[in-house]
Amino acid sequence: MSQKNLTNETSTEGREICPVQKLLKSLSGKLKPEILSLAFKSTLRFSSLLREIEGSNKQSLSIALRELEEMNVLERVVVRQKPLHIEYNLTAKGKALIHIFQQLEALV
């Protein structure tokens, strides 16, 4: 990362926000780490995520997927086959996170 990317932003309260903190906060939560872990391995479908992620429900899963889409980490693909279904794939930005997560995992 360049020094420019590591500079702090200013929050609405006037406090500086570290970009790394911002990234970690946006990728944290109950479902997002699990979604990303599964996405690193293969293409995802909503129904399989509901089954695989313990404690998930339609509403919380939809919100987490939408937030990951808005961050450009996942892309939503409508597959127009019978039956019509939606798949989620990692974007280039999402694939760049794989190495970072592997490094974090090595620290634990």
Could you list the residue range(s) of the whole structural domain that residue 61 is in?
Answer: 31-107
Rounded mean pLDDT, 61-77: 95
Note whether residue 11 is domain-resident.
Answer: no
Tokens 């990234």 found at:
23
| 25 burial type by CB count under 10 A (0-12 exposed, 13-18 middle, 19+ buried) | exposed
More confident residue, 50 or 14: 50
More confident residue, 7 or 49: 49
Cβ distance 77 to 89 under 8 Å? yes
Q: Supply φ then ψ for residue 72, to 5 degrees.
A: 65, 35
Tell me, what CATH number does 92's domain have? Answer: 1.10.10.10
Q: Based on the structure, what is the number of domains in the chain?
A: 1
Note whether residue 25 is domain-resident.
Answer: no
Say whether pLDDT at 52 is over 80: yes
Say whether pLDDT at 93 is over 90: yes
The pTM (predicted TM-score) of the whole model is: 0.79
Note whether residue 103 is domain-resident.
Answer: yes
Note whether residue 47 is domain-resident.
Answer: yes
The amino acid at residue 74 is: L
